[in-house]
A and B are shown apart, each in its own frame.
Chain A
Amino acid sequence: MSTSAALTLEQGMAHLASIVGQEHVRLHGDTIVASPADTQQIAEILRFADANRLAVMPIGSGSKQSWGNPVEPDVQLNMTRLDALHEHAWQDMTCTVQAGCSWAAMQAELAQHGQMVALDPLWPERATVGGIVASNDSGALRLKFGGLRDLIIGMTIVLADGTIAKTGGKVVKNVAGYDLHKLMTGSFGTLGVIAEVNFRLHPLEDHTRTWTAVAPDAAIFAAPLRALMDSQMTPSSVQLRTSKQACALDIRIAAQPECLDEYAARIQSIFGQIAIAESSEAVWQARQQLFDKNDAVVLKVSVLPSELCSISAELQQWAAAEALDIATVGQATGLMTVALHGAPDAEIALIERLRARLTDSGGSVVALQIPDSLRGRIDVWNCHSNALPLMREIKRRFDPNRILNPGRFVGNI
C-alpha cells in the first residue's frame, strides 16, 4: 500500500474480501488483486478505495496493461468475473455485454445469429471488452464500420465514489443527454470503471476476398490507393504494409458472391502495371504481429489518409539511415502501427523526428509498447492539445481524489 498510510495491507485485504469473498482476493507483490462479481461490488470496492485514497487499476486480461504511463496500483480491479453476454437482441441488432468478457467469446455468441461487433481489435482471444474500449483499440475493419465511438450505444459505468451511472441506451438512434460513453471510450480507466457495454451490431461479412499488391516502395501505391478510395467500391479494409524487404497493399472486399469477380477486375484496372493477386485472410494479422517482439517499440501513429504512403516511405528511409529495424502496417483511415527495433537513442530520434513531421497536419504518435530502456526517456503520449486543461478539469470532477489509474493518461492525468 503506497498511497495510504492509515491502512495496512491486511486490513485492505480483509475489507476487500468482505466485499468479493475470500477466494476472489489475492496479493500480488504489494498490490491487492480483487475480482468483483458484479457492478455493485465494483461500486463497493471503489467507495472503499476512494475513502482510503487507494490507487485502483481496472484490468481485464492485462494484454495492454503496459500502455500509457506506468501506474503502481494499491488495488487491481480484475474484471474477468464479469464475463457474460447479458443480452443479444439479434433482431434489433444490439447486445449488452459485461466488460470482462473476452472479445472472441462475445463474437462467438453473436455469430450464432450471423452478427458481430464490427471491430477487429488486437488479441481477441484474450483481450476483454472493457480493456479494448478503455484503450480505444481498432483494426482494419475501421475503414468501413468506424471506430468504437460509432459502435457503442450505451454503457454502465462506476465512478470513483461508487456512483453507478448509465449512459446512452439500447437503441442505435438516441440523442437524450450527454454521450458519456464517448468520453469513457479511450479514457484508459481514468474516469470510471466500465462495467457493461451496449453495442450496435452488424451482419457478419460472409463472402469476402482479399487481394494483395506488391511494390518495392510505398510511394508507388499513392496513386492507386487514392483511386481506390475515390472509387465507388466500398472495401471493408485497406492496409499498407512496409518492411525493409518489401511493401504490400492489402484490400478486402465483402460482397454478394456473384459480384466479387467484377470487383477483382475493377481493382486490377486501378492497379494497372502493379502486380496484384488474390491472397489470404492471414495478411490481416499483420498489425498484431508487430507487437510480437517484446523489446520492440510499437507506436500508434495517426496521419491524414493522403499521407499514408509518403510517411510510410519516409519512415523506411529514416530507419535505414539510423540502422533501425522497422515495420509498419497502416490503414487507409490514416491509423498506423509502427514497430521499431534498434539502439534506444536511434529509436528516440526517429520518434521525435516523426512527431515534428506530423505537427502541421495534426497527426499524432503514441508509444504503446516501449522497452524499459526507453521508459522515462520519452513522453509516450505527447499530447499538446490546448484542451488539456479542460481534460484535467473533467478528470478532477470525475475522480477528485485521483484514485483511478493516476498518472496513466495524457498530461499525467
Chain B
Amino acid sequence: MLTPSHITELRAAVGAEGLITEQSQLQTYECDGLTNFRVLPGAVVLPCNAQQVQAVVRFCARHKVPFVSRGAGTGLSGGALPAAGGIVISLARMNRILEVDIANRLVVVEPGVINAHVTQRVASQGYFYAPDPSSQSVCTIGGNVAENSGGAHCLKYGFTVTHVLALEVVLPSGELVQLGSPTLDAPGYDLPGVFVGSEGTLGVATKITLRIVKRPEVVQTLLAAFDSIQAAGQTVSDIIAARMLPSALEIMDALSIQAAEAAVHAHYPVCNGLLLVELDGPRSEVEALMREVQALCRNNGAWEVRVAQSEQERALVWKGRKAAFAAVGRISPNYIVQDGVIPRTALPRLLSEIDRMASAEGLRVANVFHAGDGNLHPLVLYDRAILGQEEKALDLSYRILHLCVDNGGSITGEHGVGKEKQEALGYMFSEPDLATMQLVRCAFDPESIANPDKVFPRPRLCAEKPGPYTPHPLETAGIAEIF
C-alpha cells in the first residue's frame, strides 16, 4: 500500500499534474484491451520526460513497489494490467517525434507516439513505418515495442523488432541506458533484440529509434473465392512455391465472410474459403507476378478472381477483412478471440481438428488467418445466456492453443503472453527453457518490480483460462478493429 509519504515522493517526481490518486480516475487504468481482468493501481504517474520516469522507477526500486508501463492500453493479453497497489507509468504525455532523418531512413520517437503518426510524419517524403497493427490509429510505439507487434504486412516487412534500431531504456534500478545504436551491429549483446517483445518486464522504453521504409511504387490486391479452405490454403502454398513474397496473404472461412458481409458489405463472394493476396513493389514486377497469382488461383479451382481496380476497391477489401472480428458479434452474442500460430502446412489438418473439437462441444469457431505466416485468430462463438456454454468455449479456446503447440507452433503470434497466457507459456516451453529466460529477467530486474506476475507461468496456481472477449471501446466506437 502506498503511504502519504510515498505520495509526496511521487508528486515530487512528476509534479501534481502528473499524478493520479483519485479512485474514480484510477479506474480508467484498471485494465487494458483484455477487459475481464481488472486491478486497481495504487497511483498512476504521467511523466513527461525520461528523468521523470527515472525518478518514479527509483522510487519503486527504493520501496520495492511494482510498476507497470502503459501506452494506449490496447493490449489484448493483459500486459498493461496494473499490479495491485502498484504504480502505473503512463507514457501518454511523452508523445513527441524527436527526429526525422530521411537520408538514413530513421525516425526517433518518444514511447507515447501513436503508431500511425510516424507514417503520417514521413508520408509526404514517400516513406512509411511498416509495422501496422490494426490498432495503429491509437496504439503507441512503446506498446508495440513491448509486444513486438505485427500487422497485416509483416509477412514481407517483418515485425516491430525488424524496425527498431536503438532504444533508450530506464532499467528497473532507475538507471538510464542506451541499447543498440542508430548504426548497425553496435559492439555488445543485441539488447534491443531481447528488449523488444519483453512485455514491459525489463524496464521502460523512453526513446525509440525506428527504421522507416520507402513506399512501394504500386500495391495490388486480389480476392479469390474457393469451395474449400483447403483449396485456398493450397494456393498459398503454390504462391510460396513459385518463389513470391507477397506483402499480405489472408484467408477467411465461410463464417467470418458471413460476419464481415453483415457488418461492412465488402461485396465478398459467398464461399467457403476466401483468399486475399496483396503484392507491392515496382509496377512491372507487380503486374507480372499478379498474372501468375491469378493463374495459380484458377488452377486450384477459384471460381471468382478479382483484382481491386481502384484505391477505394482495395480499401473495401481490407475493410471487410479487418472488420471480421468485431463483425462476429453480429452472428453470435459472445465470442473469444485467440491468437495461435502453426506451420502453414499444418493448416488443413488443424482446421479439421478444430472443427471436430468444436462440434463435440456443440460450438462454432470462425477462422480468420494471416495465412502467409500461419497466424490464426480462431473466434470461438458462444452464448453466455446458455448455462455452461461460456466454460465450454473458454476450455475450447484454450485447447486450440495447445493444439497449435502440438503442431509445432506457438501460443501467440502478436498479442503477447501477458496475464492471459502465462499458463500456456508453460505448455509451450519446458522448465529449463523458462529458467533460461528468467536469467535475462533477473539480470535486468533482480527485484521483479517491472510488470511482475506476467508472461511467466506461476507455480502453484491452477491453469488460467483465456477470458471471453468483450469488444474494446475502440472497436465499439469504430476506431479500430481487431485483426
Mark A residues whose CB is within 8 Å of B.
Answer: 89, 91-94, 114, 136, 142, 146-147, 149-150, 157, 159, 163-167, 169-180, 182-183, 185-187, 191, 202-204, 206, 226, 229-234, 255-256, 258-259, 262-263, 300, 302-306, 333-335, 358, 361-364, 366, 381-383, 385-388, 390-391, 393-394, 396-398, 409-411
Contact = CB atoms under 8 A, between A and B. Distances in A.
A411 B126 CA distance: 41
A305 B281 CA distance: 22
Nearest to B415: A175
Interface string B465-480: 0000000000000000
A361 B436 contact: no
> Which of A142, A157, A230 has its CB near the most chain B CB atoms (within 10 A)?
A230
B171 A164 contact: no
B437 A177 contact: yes
Given A167-B433, A173-B370, A334 B184 contact: yes
B437 A166 contact: no
Contacts, number: 258
B417 A410 contact: no
Contacts of B442: 397
Interface stretch (B83-91, B109-117, B282-290): B282-290
Contact of A175 (B189, B197, B281, B441): B197
B162 A150 contact: yes
A258 B284 contact: yes
Contact of A94 (B188, B343, B435): B343
Contact of B345 (A92, A166, A178, A358): A92
B190 interface: yes
A233 B282 CA distance: 6
> Which of A89, A175, A187 has its CB near the most chain B CB atoms (within 10 A)?
A175
B408 A177 contact: no
A23 to B, nearest CB: 30
A91 B194 contact: no
> Which of A89, A178, A388 has its CB near the most chain B CB atoms (within 10 A)?
A178
Nearest to A392: B443
B390 interface: no
Nearest to B185: A302
B189 A187 contact: yes
A393 B342 CA distance: 35
Interface residues of B, number: 89
Contacts of B455: 177
Contact of A382 (B187, B281, B370): B187
Contact of A387 (B191, B197, B425, B439): B191
A173 B193 contact: no
A136 B178 contact: no
Contact of B214 (A191, A204, A230, A256): A230
Interface string B183-217: 11111111101101110000000000000001111
A386 B178 contact: yes
Contacts of B416: 175
A173 to B, nearest CB: 4
A397 B194 CA distance: 15
A410 B217 CA distance: 43
Contacts of A362: 166, 181-183, 186
Interface of B: 101-105, 126, 147-148, 150, 154, 158-159, 161-162, 166, 171, 176-179, 181-191, 193-194, 196-198, 214-217, 237, 240-241, 243-245, 281-282, 284-285, 288-289, 341-345, 370, 373-375, 408-417, 421, 425, 428-430, 432-437, 439-444, 455
Contacts of A89: 343, 345
A182 B162 contact: no
A305 B147 CA distance: 28
B171 to A, nearest CB: 7
A410 B185 contact: no
B433 A166 contact: yes
Contacts of A304: 104, 182-183
Given A166-B429, A169-B408, A159 B188 contact: no
A191 B147 CA distance: 25
A300 B154 CA distance: 30
B15 to A, nearest CB: 27
B187 A383 contact: yes
B412 A174 contact: yes
11 contacts: A92-B343, A136-B190, A175-B412, A178-B194, A187-B189, A259-B282, A302-B181, A306-B101, A361-B182, A364-B186, A394-B189
Nearest to B417: A176
> Which of B344, B434, B439 has its CB near the most chain A CB atoms (within 10 A)?
B439
A164 B432 contact: yes
Contact of A385 (B105, B186, B417): B186
A149 to B, nearest CB: 5
